[in-house]
């Protein structure tokens, strides 16, 4: 049996079992879950930086949604925070690269 020791998407166990394969898994407590979500975020960002693949961006967003859910923050509340910050400081659309400032 191959060792993974990582957080996986909700249907992975179902998929493994549908192939009549065996697996060992457990349900994490909230502290472990947050820790593993953070590790998963690092993993997905690393994969995106290596591949520049839009599917990796989708994985990053899914992990972020998981983090928000673990913090009891709705996507709507998150978007409100994101938009407030965007209104105050802007986005990254203009490709501005700050070299120096006083």
Q: Hey, where are the domains in the chain?
A: 28-88
Mean pLDDT of 28-49: 97
The label of the residue with tokens 């166990």 reads 13
**For residue 42, what are the CA distances in angstroms to 4, 37, 45, 64?**
16, 9, 5, 11
* For residues 11-35, average pLDDT: 97
**Res 37 pLDDT > 90:** yes
- Residue 6, token pair as written in the block: 């990582």
Does residue 1 have a pLDDT over 90? no
Q: What global pTM score does this model have?
A: 0.88
Of all residues in the chain, what percent carry a pLDDT higher than 70? 100
């Amino acid at each position: 049996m191959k060792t993974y020791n990582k957080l996986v998407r909700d249907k992975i166990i179902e998929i493994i079992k549908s192939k009549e394969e065996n697996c060992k898994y457990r349900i994490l407590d909230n502290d472990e879950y947050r820790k593993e979500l953070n590790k998963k975020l690092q993993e997905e960002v690393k994969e995106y930086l290596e591949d520049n693949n839009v599917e990796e961006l989708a994985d990053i967003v899914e992990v972020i949604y998981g983090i928000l859910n673990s913090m009891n923050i709705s996507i709507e509340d998150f978007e409100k925070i994101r938009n407030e910050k965007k209104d105050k400081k802007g986005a990254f659309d203009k490709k501005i690269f700050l070299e120096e400032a006083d």
